[in-house]
Chain A
Amino acid sequence: MTSEPIQLATLSRGENATVIEITAGEATAKRLADLGFVRGGHVEMIRTGRPCLVRIGTACIGLGLEIQQVILLQRDNTIGRTAVVLGETT
C-alpha cells in the first residue's frame, strides 16, 4: 500500500521529508531544481506558515504558500513506502 504524496504546506515543524515531485510551471520548477528541490531531495520544515522556512542541504530557504503547494513529498518516517513510490516514478 502506498500513501499519496503530501504537499510541503502540510508538514509540521521539525518533520523531514523527501521530494517526490514538483508540479510547478517550468520557470518556477527550474528555479526550485537549481536550489536543490529535485526528486529525492531531503527537506526539513523549520517554521510553518506563510511563508514557511525549510532546510534543504545546508541552505535555509523561505517559501511562499504557492510554492509549498507545488512541492509534493513523502514523510521520511515512512521510508519503505517512499522507496516504493520512488520505484514507481523512476
Chain B
Amino acid sequence: MAKSLPVHTPVETQVVALVGNPNTGKSTVFAALTGIRQRTGNYPGITVEKRSATVSDPERNVRLEIIDLPGTYSLSVHADDEAVVLDALLGTHGMGPRPDVIVAVVDASNLRRNLFFTTQVLELGSPVVVALNMIDIAERAAIDIDVSALSKELGVPVVPIVATKGEGVDGLRDAIAQSTSGESSSRCQSFPDCVCAELDGLCASIAESGDGNPAVSSRAEAIQTLLSPGGYHESRLVKRCGLGLAEELSERRNRITAAGESVVEVEAQVRYAWIDRVLPSVVSHVKRSQRSASEIADGFLTHRVIGLLVLILLMGGCFQSIYAWTTPLMDGIDATFGAVSEVVSNVMPAGALRSLVVNGILAGIGSVLIFLPQILVLFFFLAILEDCGYMARAAFLLDRWMGMLGLNGKSFFPLLSSFACAVPGILAARTIESRRDRMVTIMIAPLMSCSARLPVYALLIAAFVPATQLLGGLVNLQALTLLAMYSVGAIVAVPIALLLKKTVLKGKPQPFLLELPTYKWPSPRTVFLRVYEQGREFCVTAGTIIFAVTVVIWALGYYPRPASIAINHQTQRDSLTEQFQASTTAEEMPPEQFDEFRSAYETQISRLDQSEAGAYLRQSFLGRTGKFFEPLVRPLGWDWRVGTGVIAAFAAREVLVATLGTIYNLGDDQDETSAGLREQMKAATWEDGRPVFNLAVALSIMVFFALCCQCAATLAVIQRETQSWQWPMLAFGYMTGLAYVAALATYQITIRLT
C-alpha cells in the first residue's frame, strides 16, 4: 500500500535506516548524507552505539532521521551488536519506530556476497533503496554492473555512488525521498516446500503469542529463528513465548532435516542460487586483469614475515609521529594558559576566588587540554588505518599471536581501540561471538595504554627522561620510553589473559573468521569525523568530569585555612622585616652590602611564603588523606603529594596531571603560575631537601598508571557489559595490585641502577 502524502502538509520526520555488510563504506555514506550533524547515543538497555542525524531537505520536501546501524553479513546473528539490526529494521523490542525507508549499502566490487544480505533486507516489508557504493573500485577491477538490470531484478531503486567523493549522493537523496511514500519491496525468496510449511506454521505460532507484528515481519523473524539454531532470535523468542516454542522449533527442524534439507544451509543455498542466477545478466567482467592492486598489496601485507615487519614499523612510526608532531602545538597551548593565568592573577584581588580561578580552574583545564593534539593525532592514524582496510590485515596477521593467548584475531580490534580509550574498546568486544573470548578481552582491555595515560606519560617523560638521541639520531630516548610505556600493559596482558583462561574463564576458543576488505583510499571526511568526534568527546570530558573533579580537589587542598598558620607566619615575616630594616638603617652601609642583605631577606621571605603554603596544604583535607597513605606509597618513591594525586585520580587517570598542577601551584609562590608544572615538579623536595622527582620516581609513577584501572567510566562499562559487579571489581582489584607491585619493582630496580 502506498502512503500518498499531499504536497503541502507539514513534513513529518521519516526514519531512514542505513544497513550493509561491514566494510561497505556505510559510515562514509552516512557522513555524506548527514554531514557532521550526527549525534551518538545508545540503544535502550544495551550499549551498542546508535548513530543518527536529522536532515531537513526542503528541496525534496522531506525531513529525514537517518540511523546508521552496525555492519552485518546476515540478519541471523550470534553477536549482540548484530542483533540490534533486525530489531531496528522491524521496529521490535523497543528499538524505536519501524524505518520508513531502508538503505542497503552494497559494495559494488563484492556484489555476490553483499546481495545475500540485501535479499534478506528485501523481505522485511519496508521500501528499500540500494546504494551501490564504491562503484569506482569496481570499475577499476573491470567489473561492469548494469544498474538498471540490477534494479529490475531486485525490484527496488539502485543508485550507483562513490560516497568518498560525494558522487551520486544527490541521486541517493532523490531515491530516498521518493521511496518514503513509495511501495514496500516485495521480492521474497521461495524456500523449498518443506521449509515453507514450517515457516508458515511458525509464523502462526508467533502470531498467537500476540505481539502484533505485521505478518511479513513475522516471516523474516521466523526465518531467522527457525534456520539459525541456537541463535539470538531463538533464545529471545523462547524467552517470550515459553519453552513450548523451543520444542516446537526442534520438531520443525527435525521435519526439515527428514525432508532432506539442511537447516543451517538452506537459507544460504536458496539466496545464493538466486544471486548466481541473476548476476550473469547484471555483471560482466570486461576482462579479469591479472591481479588487482589489492591482491598485489596483500601479497606483501599479509605475508607472515614482511607483513608483520610492516605492521611493527607502522605502529612505531605512528607513535614517533605523535610525539614529534605535537610538541609545538602543546607548547603553544601551555604558553596560552600561562599567559591567561598571569593576566587573571594581575587583574583579580588575592584570595580564595583568584586561587580557584588560577590554581583550580585554569591550571586544571589547561593541563588536560594540552594533550588534545596527541589524542587527535592518534585517532587520525587509527581512523586512516581502519578506513583503508588495513586493520583487518592486522587482525589476520596477529591472529596467530593472539592465539597464543587463547584469543583470536578479533580481539585485536577491541584491544587496539583500547589504546585510544578502553570504553569504545570494551564496546567493540561485542563483535566477538564467544562469551569467553569476549570476557577475557574485556578484562585485559583496560591494560592497553589509553589516551588518558598519555598526559601522565607526556608530563613525566618531558620532565625527567633525557632527550638523548640513539642510533645516530634515528630514535629519541623519550619516544622510546613512551613506546615502552605503551607496550608494558600489552605485554603484561599476555600472562593475565592466560591466567584468566585457566581460572575464571575456562572453555574452548572461538574459531577465527574475518573478511579482508578491498583496500581503498581513506575518505578524508570519514577520517575527519572520527577525529572530530573523539576530540569533542575528550573536550566534553575535560570540561565536565575532569573540571568538576579539579574544582573539588582544589577545594579539598585549599580548605580548611586555620588563622593560626597565617598569624604565625605573619609574625615571623614581621620580625624578619623589622630585623632587616633595623640592620640596614642603623648604620650607613655600602650599596653592595645592602644588596646582599636585601637578597638574603627576600630569600627568607619567599621561603616563609612557601612554608606557609605548604603548611596550609599539609593540614588541608587532601593533604591529610595523602599523608595518611604516605607509608603505603613511600616504597614506590612517591611523596604524599603524588599519593594524593593518585587518590584524586581514582575516577579518571588524566586527573592526576590536573591534581599535580593544583597541588604544586598551591604549594608554590602564588605569583609564579607561568613557570609550568614541569618546572615546579622538578623543584619539589622532600623535607631534607632531596628532590622528590627523579627518573626512578617518574618511571614508577608511569608504570603504576600504565597498569592500574583508575577509570570510573571503564568500570561502569564493564559493569554494564557483563551485567554484574564481580567483573569490574575483579578488574579494579587485579589491576591495582599489579600496578602497585610493578611500580614498586620499577622504583627499587631503577634507583639501584642509576
- Residues on A lying within 8 angstroms of B by beta carbon are 22, 26-36, 38-39, 41, 46-47, 49-51, 53, 56-67
Residues of A contacting B509 in the complex (Cβ-Cβ under 8 angstroms): 66
Contact A64 B76 (CB under 8 A): no
Could you tell me how many residues of chain B have their Cβ less than 8 Å away from some Cβ of chain A? 44
User: What are 22 A-B pairs with beta-carbon distances under 8 A?
Assistant: A22-B265, A27-B231, A27-B433, A29-B264, A30-B228, A31-B74, A31-B78, A35-B113, A36-B113, A38-B269, A39-B265, A50-B399, A51-B409, A53-B396, A58-B110, A59-B112, A61-B515, A62-B515, A64-B403, A64-B511, A65-B511, A66-B509
Chain B: CB-nearest residue to A26: B229
A58-B113, A60-B518 known; 4 new pairs, CB 8 Å cut-off, are A32-B513, A35-B515, A51-B409, A64-B513
Q: How far is the CB of A29 from chain B (nearest CB, A)?
A: 4
Chain A: CB-nearest residue to B271: A34
Contact A64 B272 (CB under 8 A): no
Residues of A contacting B496 in the complex (Cβ-Cβ under 8 angstroms): none
Residues of A contacting B403 in the complex (Cβ-Cβ under 8 angstroms): 50, 64
Contact A53 B516 (CB under 8 A): yes
Interface 0/1 of B221-259, CB less than 8 Å to A: 000000111110000000000000000000000000000
Residues of A contacting B228 in the complex (Cβ-Cβ under 8 angstroms): 26, 30
Decide if B268 is an interface residue (CB 8 Å cutoff): yes
Residues of B contacting A61 in the complex (Cβ-Cβ under 8 angstroms): 513-516
Chain B: CB-nearest residue to A37: B268
Distance, CA A30 to CA B392, complexed state (A): 22
Chain B: CB-nearest residue to A32: B513
Residues of B contacting A60 in the complex (Cβ-Cβ under 8 angstroms): 298, 515-518
Interface 0/1 of B637-653, CB less than 8 Å to A: 00000000000000000
- Residues on B lying within 8 angstroms of A by beta carbon are 73-74, 76, 78, 109-113, 116, 227-231, 263-265, 267-269, 272, 295, 298, 302, 304, 392, 395-396, 399-400, 403, 408-409, 433, 509, 511-518
Q: With A26-B264, A50-B403 as known contacts, state yes or no: A36 contacts B512, CB within 8 Å.
A: no
Q: How far is the CB of B686 from chain A (nearest CB, A)?
A: 55
Chain B: CB-nearest residue to A55: B295
Q: How far is the CB of A11 from chain B (nearest CB, A)?
A: 17
- Residue in A22, A27, A47, A64 whose CB lies within 8 Å of B399: A64
- A-B pairs, top 6 by smallest CB distance, nearest first, are A64-B512, A33-B268, A34-B74, A66-B511, A57-B112, A26-B229
Distance, CA A26 to CA B403, complexed state (A): 23
Contact B516 A33 (CB under 8 A): no
Residues of A contacting B263 in the complex (Cβ-Cβ under 8 angstroms): 26
Q: How far is the CB of A16 from chain B (nearest CB, A)?
A: 14
Query: Which of A34, A50, A62 has the largest number of chain B CB atoms within 10 A?
Result: A34
Contact B113 A51 (CB under 8 A): no
Q: How far is the CB of B267 from chain A (nearest CB, A)?
A: 7
Residues of B contacting A28 in the complex (Cβ-Cβ under 8 angstroms): 511, 513
Distance, CA A77 to CA B231, complexed state (A): 37
Contact B116 A63 (CB under 8 A): no
Q: With A36-B268, A38-B268, A53-B302 as known contacts, state yes or no: A30 contacts B513, CB within 8 Å.
A: no
Q: With A30-B231, A62-B396, A62-B399 as known contacts, state yes or no: A36 contacts B514, CB within 8 Å.
A: no
Chain B: CB-nearest residue to A59: B113
Q: How far is the CB of A82 from chain B (nearest CB, A)?
A: 17
Contact A36 B112 (CB under 8 A): yes
Residues of A contacting B229 in the complex (Cβ-Cβ under 8 angstroms): 26-27, 30
- Residue in A38, A47, A59, A62 whose CB lies within 8 Å of B272: A38
Chain B: CB-nearest residue to A19: B265
Residues of B contacting A63 in the complex (Cβ-Cβ under 8 angstroms): 511-513
- Residue in B231, B269, B433, B516 whose CB lies within 8 Å of A62: B516
Q: With A39-B269, A59-B110 as known contacts, state yes or no: A49 contacts B304, CB within 8 Å.
A: yes
Residues of A contacting B395 in the complex (Cβ-Cβ under 8 angstroms): 62
Residues of A contacting B272 in the complex (Cβ-Cβ under 8 angstroms): 36, 38, 41
Distance, CA A79 to CA B463, complexed state (A): 70
Q: With A27-B230, A51-B409, A62-B399 as known contacts, state yes or no: A33 contacts B511, CB within 8 Å.
A: no
Residues of B contacting A34 in the complex (Cβ-Cβ under 8 angstroms): 73-74, 76, 116, 267-268
Q: How far is the CB of B312 from chain A (nearest CB, A)?
A: 19
Distance, CA A53 to CA B294, complexed state (A): 14
Distance, CA A57 to CA B113, complexed state (A): 7
Residues of B contacting A57 in the complex (Cβ-Cβ under 8 angstroms): 110, 112-113
Chain A: CB-nearest residue to B516: A60
Contact B264 A30 (CB under 8 A): yes
Chain B: CB-nearest residue to A70: B511
Q: How far is the CB of A59 from chain B (nearest CB, A)?
A: 5
Q: How far is the CB of B558 from chain A (nearest CB, A)?
A: 58
Chain A: CB-nearest residue to B400: A50
Distance, CA A49 to CA B76, complexed state (A): 29
Residues of A contacting B76 in the complex (Cβ-Cβ under 8 angstroms): 30, 34
Contact A58 B264 (CB under 8 A): no
Residues of B contacting A67 in the complex (Cβ-Cβ under 8 angstroms): 511-513
Contact B78 A27 (CB under 8 A): yes
- Residue in B265, B396, B515 whose CB lies within 8 Å of A29: B265
Contact A31 B513 (CB under 8 A): yes
Query: Which of A22, A28, A47, A60 has the largest number of chain B CB atoms within 10 A?
Result: A60
Query: Which of B231, B396, B511, B515 has the largest number of chain A CB atoms within 10 A?
Result: B511
Q: How far is the CB of B605 from chain A (nearest CB, A)?
A: 71
Contact B113 A62 (CB under 8 A): no
Residues of A contacting B409 in the complex (Cβ-Cβ under 8 angstroms): 51, 62, 64
Residues of A contacting B78 in the complex (Cβ-Cβ under 8 angstroms): 27, 30-31
Contact A62 B512 (CB under 8 A): yes
Q: With A57-B112, A61-B514, A62-B409 as known contacts, state yes or no: A35 contacts B73, CB within 8 Å.
A: yes
Distance, CA A27 to CA B399, complexed state (A): 21
Residues of A contacting B304 in the complex (Cβ-Cβ under 8 angstroms): 49
Residues of A contacting B302 in the complex (Cβ-Cβ under 8 angstroms): 47, 53
Contact A33 B264 (CB under 8 A): yes
Q: How far is the CB of B699 from chain A (nearest CB, A)?
A: 38
Distance, CA A33 to CA B227, complexed state (A): 11
